[in-house]
Amino acid sequence: MNQSTQGRSAKKKPILVSALSCPQFTRVRLSLNRGQSARPHCPLSTLPIRFLCLPLLDRLGAGLAVRQSGLQWLEMGNTCCFAAPGAPAAERRKPTFRRKLRNRNKTADGLFHRRVGDMLLALRSGAAHLLASAFPYPAMSTPHDHHFIPAFYLAQWCADPASDASWLVEYSIPYPGKLVAKLVGRRATGFERDLYAFPELPPDKAQFIEQQFFDYADRVAADALQMLLAGHNRWTSETRSAWSRFVIGVHLRHPDAIPELRAAARSVWNGNGETFQREYELIRTPDDPPTFDERIAKIDPLVPIKVEVNAIIKMVDNEKINGHINNMIWDVLDVSGASHQLLTSDRPVVISKLKDPGGSIIMPISPTKLFLAVNDGRWLQSVRAERKRNIVSRANQQTIERARRFVWAADNSQEAFIRKYMGKKPEPLPLFPNLGRYTTQGG
Q: Are 330 and 372 in contact (CB under 8 A)?
A: yes
Question: How large is the C-alpha radius of gyration of the chain?
Answer: 25
Residue ranges of domains in the chain: 15-134, 145-193, 208-214+235-317, 320-438
Q: Are strands 39-40 and 28-32 parallel, antiparallel or unpaired?
A: antiparallel
pLDDT value for 431: 79
pLDDT value for 232: 87
Which strand (E) or helix (H) includes residue 67? strand 65-67
- Bridge partners (DSSP) of residue 331 are 372
* CA–CA–CA angle 311, 313, 315 (5° rounding): 70
* CA–CA–CA angle 141, 347, 420 (5° rounding): 125
What residue spans of 39-139 are helical by DSSP H?
54-60, 89-92, 95-103, 108-124, 128-134
How far, in Å, CA of 88 to CA of 24, rounded? 9
Chunked mean pLDDT (size 10), the chain, 443 residues: 43 34 30 34 30 33 30 30 36 38 40 40 35 34 91 96 92 94 96 96 94 96 96 91 96 92 85 87 91 90 92 92 95 95 97 90 98 93 92 97 97 97 91 49 35
How far, in Å, CA of 394 to CA of 128, rounded? 47
231 Rama class: left (phi>0) / alpha (psi -120 to 50) / beta:
left
pLDDT value for 433: 64
Q: Are strands 407-409 and 167-175 parallel, antiparallel or unpaired?
A: antiparallel
How far, in Å, CA of 6 to CA of 25, rounded? 40
pLDDT value for 141: 66
pLDDT value for 249: 94
